[in-house]
Amino acid sequence: MIEIRFHGRGGQGAVTSAELMAQTAIGSGKYAQAFPSFGPERRGAPVTAFLRISETPIRIREKVYSPNVVVVLDPSVMNVTKVDAGLKDDGLLIINSARSAEDLRKQYGFKQKIATIDALHIALEVLKVPITNTVMMGSLAKVCGVATPADVREPLLTRFGPGLAPRNQQAFERAYENTNMEG
């Protein structure tokens, strides 16, 4: 089983990312669960979402405390939240940033592997809005092997409809092709 924690801000799509990746995994014959963790926060407040994907039924019904992967949709949350808390020693951080993994490691003291993607740039260029959810899904899919671009077509179409799904598919694919992975 792979356990993933998403960090973002309200309105950026962290919860949607987790839900869409769960739907994608289920559509591929796997087991998955996704759920958010937030209170009465408003748009822009830090939000956490959780995702589990497994080849076997998932019996756990609690937050992800020791994730294999952490996905950071908005790098500003790293200034207010310790995003690597509980991340396994052999874990992976996937960060929306134009900065290098080395720069991020120096500033925040990360010890695990880091993958980066300038998701904001792709979102603004392709989607025309600063919502990075489907871009970060593409990075997650690529570096963790949890989905392919073909796997997400139906979930994206169901969620966004025929008007927005193609642009979200393009954003996913751009990240899938352009994520920078350490090592």
What gap in Å lies between CA 118 and CA 116, rounded to an integer? 7
DSSP state of 78: G
* pLDDT confidence of residue 41: 58
Domain that holds residue 60: 2-181
- Helix, strand, coil content of the chain in percent (nearest 5): 45, 20, 35
Domain count, the chain: 1
- Closest by CA to 83, choosing from 51, 44, 119, 46, is 46
Q: Where are the beta strands (DSSP E) in 38-178?
A: 46-54, 69-72, 92-96, 113-117
Contact 155, 27 (CB under 8 A): yes
What's the CATH code of the domain at 42? 3.40.920.10
* pLDDT confidence of residue 46: 87
- Closest by CA to 7, choosing from 174, 100, 119, 89, is 119
Question: Tens of pLDDT along 5-25?
Answer: 999 998 888 999 999 999 999
Confidence of residue 38 (pLDDT cuts 50, 70, 90): low
- Residue 60 tokens, joined: 């756990």
Give the alpha-carbon dihedral of 155, 136, 144, 95, to 10 degrees: -160
Question: Tens of pLDDT along 132-166?
Answer: 999 999 999 999 999 999 999 999 999 999 999 99
Task: Tell me how many helices (H) and strands (E) the chain has.
Answer: 5, 7
Question: Tens of pLDDT along 79-119?
Answer: 999 999 999 999 999 999 999 999 999 999 999 999 999 99
Half-sphere exposure of 99 (CA within 13 A, CB side): 15
* pLDDT confidence of residue 86: 97
pTM summary value: 0.94
